[in-house]
Amino acid sequence: MPGRNVLIVYAHQEPKSMNGSLKDIVVDVMSKQGCNVVVSDLYTMKFNAAATRNDITGDLCNPQHFSYGIETKEAFKKGCLCEDILEEQRKVHDADLVILQFPLYWFSFPAIMKGWIDRVFVQGFAFDFPGCYETGLLKGKKALLSFTTGGTEEMFSKEGASGDIRYLLWPIQHGIMHFCGFQVLSPQISYAPEYVSEVKRKEMLMNWAQRLENIWEEPPIDCTPPWYFQ
């Protein structure tokens, strides 16, 4: 879709990794579609993952009892968040599609990506009360998790040792992305790239490239408990 904006939030240390290749494919395919593709390469940026009082410039509302949620909400309203947060918020604001690209770490995403969420998706910008789930402040945007695993697809089945992969998507897809109003697209899961053949890896990359060709036409998933737990 020419003119659409895509933000890739990318968390891998090694450009030659499978995650690096999956990210490069998005840049390549979606740029060819005429999309504007922006990458937040968190390790290269040395993105600060720690949510601290340094995230607020100027005076705190209550310096005697620091509350990160209250202070960042007020700082957002006053335009007093620090520059690296504001820069990422501008990218999210402009994006029609946000892709999180990461290796699965402990059934979740790497800490640097969690820190990006903690610091960028502040109240008043990404959500509010009211202003969550269907009325989340980032509604109208699409989000997609693309990730790799160490475990095989079989391990991440209902009967497998790790349980259904969908169980662990609930906190991220539902608790973060859907909570903030995103329409969540099906995840792109590349299972066990370290343990499969070169041919299989190429196939995974090709499948991703093919999917991206029609990504704008994809309907979102039904982000309710049955999708995850039935």
Ligand X SMILES: Cc1cc2nc3c(=O)[nH]c(=O)nc-3n(C[C@H](O)[C@H](O)[C@H](O)COP(=O)(O)OP(=O)(O)OC[C@H]3O[C@@H](n4cnc5c(N)ncnc54)[C@H](O)[C@@H]3O)c2cc1C
Binding site for ligand X (CB under 6 A): 12, 14, 16-19, 21, 103-107, 148-151, 193-194, 198, 201-202, 205
Q: What is the torsion angle, in degrees rounded to the nearest 10, for the CA atoms of residue 64, residue 70, residue 72 and residue 73? A: -150
Residues whose CB falls within 8 Å of the CB of residue 35, separated by 6 or more in sequence, listed in order: 1, 2, 3, 4, 5, 6
Nearer to ligand X, 153 or 218 (CB): 153
Pair of tokens at residue 109: 């995403």
Q: Nearest distance from residue 202's CB to ligand X, in Å? A: 6
Q: Nearest distance from residue 60's CB to ligand X, in Å? A: 34
Report which secondary-structure segment, H or E, holds 73: helix 68-78
Q: Nearest distance from residue 44's CB to ligand X, in Å? A: 15
Q: How far apart are CA 3 and CA 201, in angstroms?
A: 31
Pair of tokens at residue 160: 């497998």
| Contact status, residue 77 vs residue 124, Cβ threshold 8 Å | yes
Q: Nearest distance from residue 191's CB to ligand X, in Å? A: 8
Nearer to ligand X, 85 or 117 (CB): 117
Nearer to ligand X, 166 or 201 (CB): 201
Nearer to ligand X, 62 or 210 (CB): 210
